[in-house]
Structure 1
């Protein structure tokens, strides 16, 4: 399940409008594993405004690793919003969240920006929120998963587009699939959730370095598998 965490009031920017397609376009698209989603011949410009933002906000360190001096600060900020966070396993400088919307009345469907975009943290969590988390970071991939050691995991987006952050609990994701552009999450259909709540979400990860997207995608998928097994 994804959820939002409140942020202090600040400047709020308007996100891009949806990318949609009609019925005739849908019929010629190859189906992928997740239900009701199709690849596009011309995918939306997922990082349309990322290039200009990143040019004015250069990232000093690797997307997969945080400097030790910054790890404590990052962890303390995240724990204010979600005290159960135990450690930061990986960081991506920028990620954009999309939801897949189907409009039966208009016969259209497509990816829409969710209004959440910012630094992405892949985190381990304590099962008991009262436990004390310590600042730590590891190389992503196999070593990161080993350091995780079966704890709960989440993807945390520190939103620069609005007042709400996003936390995606990997244990409540039904399926995960990686495409060329997006890491797609099919969320569990939880009882009591509003009918308008997103069921399919896509995560576009900015590749500031060649291996950034593949590294974070692999780590998230492995953490999701372990979270579902536990």
Structure 2
């Protein structure tokens, strides 16, 4: 007796029978289970909030941004060279409002595009600031010995015509005003502190402080002022002239 073995037919789909799968940027890859997860929610923070978040990494007391300049270069004044030298810091400039130890303050920050060192300058007194045609000059406070003082020059980019026209002068005026405001608040705070402790002025005990660099800058040119000796001629030169004309001596 013969047994009939049924034939098994193997189905080979042609290219025309294969299903078509279209993958785009948003379609999950069926071979990659990770792509089946829902996309993360969109970032809803504003540019200002993002900028503040970045600034707080370098200056944690930052609370708000008062003004931004797209590009600025920080120079350091060299008394020995009698001119401005690049400090190696350049990038976006921010004037920020800070809050620390129960008091508001203001600072100038330049986030460096060329390295890891950023420029952070806390405004304390109006006489720290001087504005020239080329630079916004900032002098470090709290250092009585002239040889250790530093003066920084902020060169702020501005166009002859366009959205940044006049930016340098506007930034300089704002920095001056905020330094004046901070000084007034500090004087009021000091007055309250002295009243609480019954103090009417305290002598330092170390004698009068040496005139700071910015004080030399602000003295009239006709007035006798301390001078910086020039090795070539041995004659003194008004420091105000040195800083105001130092734009031609950038190294």
Normalising by structure 1, we get a TM-score of 0.54
Contact (CA 8 Å) 1:100, 1:198: kept in 2 or not? no
Change (3 A) 1:124 1:198: same
Q: List, as ranges, runs of 4+ consecutive aligned residues in structure 1 with deviation greater than 6 Å.
A: none
Shift of 1:78: 0.5
Structure richer in helix, relative to its length: 2
Instruction: Name the structure 1 match of 2:170.
Output: 215
Alignment of 1:1-230 (within 5 A): 69-103=46-80, 108-128=81-101, 151-171=104-124, 174-190=127-143, 199-208=150-159, 209-230=164-185
Change (3 A) 1:203 1:111: same
Secondary structure of the 2:66 match is strand
Distance 1:229 1:153 in 2: 13
Distance 2:142 2:175 in 1: 21
Q: Which runs of 5+ in 1 are unaligned?
A: 1-67, 130-149
Distance 2:91 2:125 in 1: 22
Distance 1:115 1:89 in 2: 25
Structure with the bigger RCO (C-alpha within 8 Å, sep 6+) is 1
Change (3 A) 1:199 1:174: farther
Shift of 1:190: 2.7
Distance 1:198 1:119 in 2: 25
Contact (CA 8 Å) 1:174, 1:188: kept in 2 or not? no
Q: Which runs of 5+ in 2 are unaligned?
A: 1-44, 186-251
Shift of 1:173: 7.0
Distance 2:54 2:142 in 1: 30
Distance 2:104 2:130 in 1: 22
Instruction: Name the structure 2 match of 1:48.
Output: none
Distance 2:125 2:179 in 1: 9
Distance 1:172 1:163 in 2: 28
Distance 2:82 2:166 in 1: 31
Structure richer in strand, relative to its length: 1
Secondary structure of the 1:155 match is strand
